[in-house]
Chains A and B, each alone.
Chain A
Amino acid sequence: MTEQELLSAATEAVVAANEEKACEVAREAVSLGLDPLRVINEGFTPGMREVGDLFERGTMFLPEVILASEAMVAAVAILEESLPADQREKTAGSVVLGTIEGDVHDIGKGIVATLLRVYGFEVHDLGRDVPLTSFVEKVAETGADLVGTSALMTTTMVGQKALEKMLKEAGLRDQVKTMVGGAVVTQYWADKIGADAYAENAQEAVAKALELAQG
């Protein structure tokens, strides 16, 4: 296999969500002595990008995206073994996530958590019906870059506003960005309460999270 062939095989293995194949390609790259970073960046990452595109266009199913990312993670782990620690891929950022107290709607939040993980974030998912103080404590404890809250009810979205205030009072608001979402939440609401970002769906949530984590 030429290097070019191997890079295409890596991309294809991720798009096909074939973990076995992806690992095989990674081991082959190691045995050929190829540059692991190049194989990650030009072989596996383009695969994941294509998966993201296919999902966005509605041709790929969410479970396939998750399997594809698992294939990618497994292959990258093999390649990284031959990299010095400081060159290993860093996480895209860390996020504390949960559904506001009084609200049990957690399916959308779960999808956001999954996609954030797919795109390399470290996610602390606090679950549903989460007391506001738990968000504050988790942010303090982990030093997370972002805190994302989900509210699907008019009765619980007020919790997102209260959290802004509590983060300020705890002196944490300057070091953490806030992101809000859920069916009843809008960009208008995010602006009104001073949240850093709003996203309509999980893909947009990832895009906004990447922006915030880099900025």
Chain B
Amino acid sequence: MPSSESHDTDRPSSPRWGIKALERAELEALHQATLHVLWHAGVKVEDPPAVDIFEAAGATIERRGTHALVRLPASLVEESIRSAPGTFTLHGRDPKHNFLVRPGATGFTAGYGEHVMVIDIHTGEVRPTVKQDLADITRIQDNLEHVSFAERAACSGDQYPAVQAVHNYDAMVRNTSKHVFLSAGGGDNAKAIVAMAEAVAGGREKLRERPIVTCLVSPTSPLSLVTECTSSMIAAIEGGLNVVFHAMSLSGASSPATPVGVVVQHNAEVLSALVLAQAVRKGVPCIPAFNSTMMDLRRSVAPIGVPELALHGVAGIQLMQYYDLPTWAGACASDSKIPDAQQGYDFTLTAMPAALVGANVIYGIGALESVITFDYAAMIMGAEQAGRIKRIVQGIDLSGLDEAVALIEEVGPGGEYITHDHTFAHMRELSSSSIFDRKARELWERDGSKSAADRAYVEARRILASHEPAPLDDGVTEKLDAILAAREAEARAATA
């Protein structure tokens, strides 16, 4: 339940458990392979302003009509890696939600991108999402203890298409004081989102000091940076925001059918975006995201709750750690259509490795059906599971060793611990549960023999009915309305 504590996973003193999948020499080999790809295969870039920035930074350019082939020399790539910080703060609108990104800090968030369908929280009907859904999901994210920041989990599908992204920010910033992640859908929308964030933060300089929103952009596999991606990125960075590189190849369709090939190509894609970002503003915090999954070449679908997602993610995140860069893992998502047993298995299949490898941001809570549909019960259960996973990653605190030995000796064979002071001092550190059932069967039956998902829907409705997010400062909502209206009018005029 809500707490005002810091949302960092671990105190610096506590040990951290993890996966060390790849050796240093293996990481170096993957790095060299990536540099080879970035030079010999190159990257396709569409938008002339982005091409010019690459050129000025030292890339080799071949202009080919509608796009340019950009080749990145190793020195430029490595210099860009060095100039991007590994430690920085993701600011909340309310500073109590600040999250310090640094090695060992892990936070979860709900939504695997922008879901277009939702299982209605009241009727159970599967239907397209509207702006109010994003407002509701965000309000619940604001309340959940184990959700450290709010990713835009649904699209404002009832709003004017060209400016849905701006409506998304509007719905989110009014409903959470946590840090917000979302994509912009092009430079003009990104500028409007920056203007809204400035209004919320208290001005241009305030936003630059405390960027409260991060822009998500997607390199397109294989090895392409499309105009929407680069124009959003440039406008966001110029406006003072940080960026996430959200590449997502499908192994066997848009990337090789082997994990090693996927990791190298994905790394090349996020590093190409990193080079551009650092050329726009040296030192801008960039979070490379690892979301590459697979193509099921027998069913022609893109499943997400698969071992491949975790394999690609663990390797990619270790590479980023080798570079001292922050990390983001796509995880938690299921291909099930309902919050059932498969959904739970799929969640942990990918969330656990992502946490153990030390991803700074793990997203995907609540995602069903190949990340098309969002579900409230999956979100509530997922947030509780995130807390349990974070506990494992914290590991065992060995500083209590001597005390424990003395205690065991004192209690001795055949004794008991329930009444001991030591138990009293530490019992609150033991895990507890809210949605997940631990009751005796009779009590569970008396409470209606409900499934975890049933209880989770009830909890989601309770939060929606009772939680009030921190209000915006006086006069801010009017400014948001005005910026949104102006951007929408501009977009309507442009398409008319």
By the criterion CB–CB under 8 Å, are A154 and B161 in contact? Answer: yes
For the complex, is B155 an interface residue (Cβ under 8 Å from A)? yes
> Interface digits, B112-128 against A, CB 8 Å rule (1 contact, 0 not)?
00001000000000001
> Interface digits, A100-132 against B, CB 8 Å rule (1 contact, 0 not)?
001010011011000000000000000001000
Please judge, given known A-B contacts A104-B228, A154-B157, A155-B185, whether A58 and B116 are in contact too, CB under 8 Å.
Answer: no
CB contact list, A52-99 vs B, under 8 A: 55, 58-63
- Nearest-CB residue, chain A, relative to B253: A107
A201 interface neighbour in B228, B250, B295, B300, Cβ under 8 Å: B300
By the criterion CB–CB under 8 Å, are A107 and B295 in contact? Answer: yes
For the complex, is B302 an interface residue (Cβ under 8 Å from A)? yes
Q: Measured between alpha carbons, how far is A104 from B157 in the docked complex, in Å?
A: 18
Shortest CB distance B468–A (Å): 29
> Interface digits, A193-209 against B, CB 8 Å rule (1 contact, 0 not)?
00000000111000000
By the criterion CB–CB under 8 Å, are B297 and A129 in contact? Answer: no
For the complex, is A183 an interface residue (Cβ under 8 Å from B)? yes
For the complex, is A156 an interface residue (Cβ under 8 Å from B)? yes
By the criterion CB–CB under 8 Å, are B228 and A59 in contact? Answer: no
Q: Measured between alpha carbons, how far is A203 from B300 in the docked complex, in Å?
A: 9
- Nearest-CB residue, chain B, relative to A54: B298
By the criterion CB–CB under 8 Å, are B164 and A155 in contact? Answer: yes
For the complex, is A32 an interface residue (Cβ under 8 Å from B)? no
Please judge, given known A-B contacts A183-B116, A202-B300, whether A155 and B161 are in contact too, CB under 8 Å.
Answer: yes
Residues of A contacting B464 in the complex (Cβ-Cβ under 8 angstroms): none
For the complex, is A34 an interface residue (Cβ under 8 Å from B)? no
Please judge, given known A-B contacts A107-B253, A129-B226, A183-B116, whether A154 and B164 are in contact too, CB under 8 Å.
Answer: yes
Where chain A touches its partner, the secondary structure class is loop
By the criterion CB–CB under 8 Å, are A158 and B300 in contact? Answer: no
Q: Measured between alpha carbons, how far is A160 from B169 in the docked complex, in Å?
A: 26
By the criterion CB–CB under 8 Å, are B128 and A154 in contact? Answer: yes
Residues of chain B touching chain A, judged by Cβ–Cβ distance below 8 Å, are 116, 128, 155, 157, 161-162, 164, 185, 220, 226, 228, 250, 253-254, 295, 297-302, 370, 372
Residues of A contacting B162 in the complex (Cβ-Cβ under 8 angstroms): 155
By the criterion CB–CB under 8 Å, are B226 and A61 in contact? Answer: no
Could you list 5 A-B pairs, sorted by A, with CB under 8 Å? Answer: A61-B297, A102-B228, A104-B220, A154-B155, A183-B370
Most buried by B among A59, A108, A155, A158: A155
Q: Measured between alpha carbons, how far is A201 from B298 in the docked complex, in Å?
A: 12
Residues of chain A touching chain B, judged by Cβ–Cβ distance below 8 Å, are 55, 58-63, 102, 104, 107-108, 110-111, 129, 153-156, 158, 183-184, 201-203
A60 interface neighbour in B295, B298, B370, Cβ under 8 Å: B298
By the criterion CB–CB under 8 Å, are B372 and A183 in contact? Answer: yes
Please judge, given known A-B contacts A107-B250, A154-B116, A184-B116, whether A58 and B161 are in contact too, CB under 8 Å.
Answer: no
Residues of A contacting B161 in the complex (Cβ-Cβ under 8 angstroms): 154-156, 158
Please judge, given known A-B contacts A154-B116, A155-B185, A158-B161, whether A104 and B226 are in contact too, CB under 8 Å.
Answer: yes
Q: Measured between alpha carbons, how far is A153 from B164 in the docked complex, in Å?
A: 11
Please judge, given known A-B contacts A102-B228, A104-B220, A154-B155, whether A58 and B298 are in contact too, CB under 8 Å.
Answer: yes
Q: Measured between alpha carbons, how far is A56 from B137 in the docked complex, in Å?
A: 37
By the criterion CB–CB under 8 Å, are A59 and B298 in contact? Answer: yes
Residues of A contacting B128 in the complex (Cβ-Cβ under 8 angstroms): 154, 184
Give the top 6 A-B pairs by smallest Cβ distance, nearest first. A155-B161, A61-B297, A62-B297, A154-B157, A58-B298, A184-B116
By the criterion CB–CB under 8 Å, are B228 and A55 in contact? Answer: no
Residues of A contacting B185 in the complex (Cβ-Cβ under 8 angstroms): 155
Shortest CB distance B317–A (Å): 24
Q: Measured between alpha carbons, how far is A24 from B220 in the docked complex, in Å?
A: 42
Q: Measured between alpha carbons, how far is A62 from B253 in the docked complex, in Å?
A: 10
By the criterion CB–CB under 8 Å, are A111 and B155 in contact? Answer: no
By the criterion CB–CB under 8 Å, are B116 and A107 in contact? Answer: no
- Nearest-CB residue, chain A, relative to B157: A154
Residues of A contacting B372 in the complex (Cβ-Cβ under 8 angstroms): 183-184
Residues of A contacting B228 in the complex (Cβ-Cβ under 8 angstroms): 102, 104
Query: A58-B299, A154-B157, A203-B300 are known contacts; what are 19 more A-B pairs with Cβ within 8 Å?
Result: A58-B298, A59-B298, A62-B297, A62-B300, A102-B228, A104-B220, A110-B253, A129-B226, A153-B116, A154-B128, A154-B161, A154-B164, A155-B162, A156-B161, A158-B161, A183-B372, A184-B116, A184-B128, A201-B301
